[in-house]
Amino acid sequence: MTEKVAFMPERTEAAKRAMGAPRRPHLKAEIADLTPGKALAGVKPGDWDPDQWGMPPNAPVTPLGFDGSIYYFLDAKGCVTELTPSKCGKSYIQDLFSPAYQYPRWAWPQRSKEGNYQDNFDQQKALAHLFAAAANKGSWSAIEKVRGRGAWVSDDGRLILHTGREVLLDGFEDLGCGEMDGYVYPSRPPVMKPAENAQPAGTDGVGDLLLSLFQSWYWARPTLDSHLILGWVGAAMLGGALPWRPVVFVTGDAAVGKSSLQSVLKFVMGDLLLQAEDTTAAGIYQAMKQDSLPVAIDEAEAEADTRKAQALIKLARIAASGGSLHRGGADGTGSRVIVRSCFMFSSINAPSLLPQDRSRMAMLDLRPVPKGAEEPQLDAAELREMGTQLLRRLVDWWPRLNDVLHQFRSYLKSEAGHNGRSADIFGTLAAFAHMAIHDDAPDQKTLKWWGEMLDAKRLVEFESVTPNWKNCWRHMVSVPVDAYRGSAKRSVQEVFEAWRLATKQGRYAQDDDREWADIARVRRELVRVGLGVVFPKGKPEDFNSAQLLIPNSHPALATLFQNSIWQGQPGAHGVWVTALRQSPNTLWKSGTGRIGGAVTRGTLISLKDFIEAAGDVPGEDEGEE
């Protein structure tokens, strides 16, 4: 018997208290009625006893702490605000307490020479107490401690949804914005909340209806891709609370439905979704602030200058693991941003992606719409309601989310050929698609179905994914080099192949290649690109016995790697050193040898074995006569 989801997790009083101490009452009505000289809660203006931090009682402003000469506060509007010695005038203090502008006039009243209360406050006294209170609170980081809109996890593993004006524990109980459990949930513009009632699974449930809608697009992998986009929507809704946030990239020619898909996502997720076209990475993380909301970028096209697209891809990669982005500032202080959002891109052509980036996202391809096909009917209000219903299902699933993620991730690793990272990505997408539709935990039949659909050997996402050391090697041996004599450019691989053929007794491509049996000729060609050849004692000086010496630093080799990710700088070790040494330990060792007569330290590899391990050996008699 399969276990059912506990739709209403028990919320004990102890768990509620763990979220933070009860809020200090702000006496909003009395503060609003304050006039110069009027008492507040029976206390005369300025005649108050400080609280534990040194603040006046019932203050609508909460000190948070300090970082150097920056003092942080949760202001009366519920926003995180800074005061510094250079930004602390009366207008800054007034803004800090707004709309309770009368409060500073009661806490730090200003009197006339005759002793009468004035409609003003003593700026110096106010600053002294405010700075002291923040200092008393201790060192504090806005980057680490501010949680904007989106999903988060409490210290005891419970789901927190910050919807802008509410902070919902377990998705239901509003704790209110403010400081709780060492974190600050500031007031922000409102975003979508879960539906009030539990949502059914199965046929005509919200997950099934959304899946049917996504199936109306013409995907290259109709069944799999429609499930994966459904899974992304679910994961995106709870992105900030997840251990890993999957990225999807939707491609397809013009008029295949990319823009309409973006519209559906916006209807379903409403203000939860940060949507942009032709944007930059800086524009995205500046708009996100401390939110953990999902991001959808349309028209992320491949261009001749790839820097903008690569910066966006890098931001998505950082966000997937919840990493931080460091940027310098004009004032020399710099800044750091933690990003915890699910990203989706769409474009006609995907930009050039490094293998590590391509393997970290699901690539979903849309095909042309057949002539006469009906477009899906989109009702914004209905889709918005479906979004709240889906969010409610995911909130109800939360108590068992980690178990379901573990089931999918483990199955993909053990049965579908995935590594740890790809299992994180596709396991998360599969788990959220499952939770959107089903109430039961996945059984073996369900896991097998997903394993067959996500077989790593069949996924286009892994077609070009090869280890870093192989890519580095293939770059080194395949780049045509001007240094070789003759009118035609020659690559290192061509040198190796000519030598290999010459080593085979009586097997030459043509008579002119006999000279390649001479090791002196081989060494002359290889030294032009900064490579050397070493032979173990007692071994013949031929291709099968050769060890290739790849120097740690060499100007000719640095030129060969120029403008690649493995290039070096003059006088320093090239990046190729660490890259090639990521190959199996049996294939290389550190050593020395002569290159052009100079003793050089570098990496010694068994040439024949290394080429075979890299998969660059031609088939039997391939290219030979």
pLDDT tens-digit map of 297-337:
987 665 556 778 888 888 998 899 888 776 655 454 556 77
pLDDT given for residue 303 in this prediction: 59
Residue 623 pLDDT more than 70? no
Exposed (0-12), middle (13-18) or buried (19+): which is 334, by Cβ within 10 Å? exposed
pLDDT in tens, 13-72: 434 443 443 344 457 778 888 888 999 989 999 999 999 999 999 999 999 999 999 999
pLDDT given for residue 581 in this prediction: 93
Q: Which of 4-13, 257-266, 413-422 has the lowest mean pLDDT?
A: 4-13
Question: What is the rounded end-to-end Cα distance, in angstroms, of the chain?
Answer: 66
Averaged pLDDT, 189-201: 95
372 Cβ neighbours under 8 A, 6+ residues apart: none
pLDDT given for residue 542 in this prediction: 87
pLDDT in tens, 538-556: 888 889 999 999 999 999 9
pLDDT given for residue 415 in this prediction: 96
Q: Which residue has the tokens 């377990």?
A: 170
pLDDT bucket at 280, cuts 50 / 70 / 90: confident
Quick one: DSSP state of residue 183?
A: E
Closest CA to 368 of 151, 220, 522: 220
Residue 497 pLDDT more than 80? yes
pLDDT given for residue 285 in this prediction: 84
Average pLDDT along the chain = 86
For residue 87, the cross-strand partners are 84
pLDDT given for residue 279 in this prediction: 83
Structural tokens at position 431: 């788990």
**Distance (Å, rounded) from C-alpha 389 to C-alpha 387?**
5
pLDDT in tens, 510-526: 445 567 778 888 898 89
Averaged pLDDT, 403-426: 95
Residue 369 pLDDT more than 80? yes
pLDDT given for residue 368 in this prediction: 92
Quick one: DSSP state of residue 620?
A: T
How many angstroms separate the most distant Cα atoms in the chain?
116
pLDDT in tens, 567-583: 877 777 889 999 999 99
CB-side neighbour CA atoms (13 Å) of 535: 12
Q: Where are the domains of the chain?
A: 34-140, 206-460, 468-613
pLDDT given for residue 137 in this prediction: 94
Q: What CATH number does domain 206-460 carry, 3.40.50.300, 3.40.50.10420, 3.30.559.10, 3.40.50.920?
A: 3.40.50.300
Closest CA to 78 of 57, 56, 100, 45: 100
In the chain, the amino acid numbered 426 is F
pLDDT given for residue 142 in this prediction: 86
pLDDT bucket at 356, cuts 50 / 70 / 90: low
Q: Is the peptide bond before 376 cis (omega within 30 degrees of 0)?
A: no
**Distance (Å, rounded) from C-alpha 471 to C-alpha 616?**
11
pLDDT given for residue 9 in this prediction: 38
In the chain, the amino acid numbered 83 is L
Return the number of other C-beta atoms located less than 10 Å from residue 313's C-beta: 26
Cα dihedral across residues 97, 98, 103, 107: positive or negative: positive
pLDDT given for residue 17 in this prediction: 40
What would the 3-class secondary structure string for 92-129 be?
HHHHHHCCCCCHHHHHCEEECCCCCEEEEECHHHHHHH
pLDDT given for residue 513 in this prediction: 58
Q: Are 81 and 73 in contact (CB under 8 A)?
A: yes
